[in-house]
Amino acid sequence: MGIEFLEVKAGRVVARMPVEGNTQPYGLLHGGASCVLAETIGSTGAAVHAGPGRIAVGVEINATHHRSATSGYVTGVATLLHGGRSIATYDIEISDEQGRRVCTSRLTCMLRDRPDVPPHS
């Protein structure tokens, strides 16, 4: 997918992805590729929020595709909407190089203790 992280914090994750290599047969950015970018950055933020010894597992994602992208890069910004002990939800905006919104997504992740790490270690 060629995803490159630009900023990683629990409250905000930014990454970019090339359109080339992530298109559908008509040469447009594939909607599934936008979902991959959204879930990748949202679950990364959720994992950072969850902390050491915990994991984030996506349980729900939705995406609205507003416009197409045919070249260059798209940039995703995931912003924490809710960060609890068991659930984290992110709003993800994906834009083209001109700053136009390509996709809006929301991701909810379940936060769990890792089974191979004792709690609070």
**Contact (CB, 8 A) for 34 and 94:** yes
Q: Does the annotation mark 39 as catalytic?
A: yes
Angle, CA 101 vertex, CA 97 and CA 102 arms, to 5°: 85
Catalytic residue among 4, 7, 20, 39: 39
End-to-end CA distance of the chain: 34
**Contact (CB, 8 A) for 75 and 95:** yes
Active site residues: 39
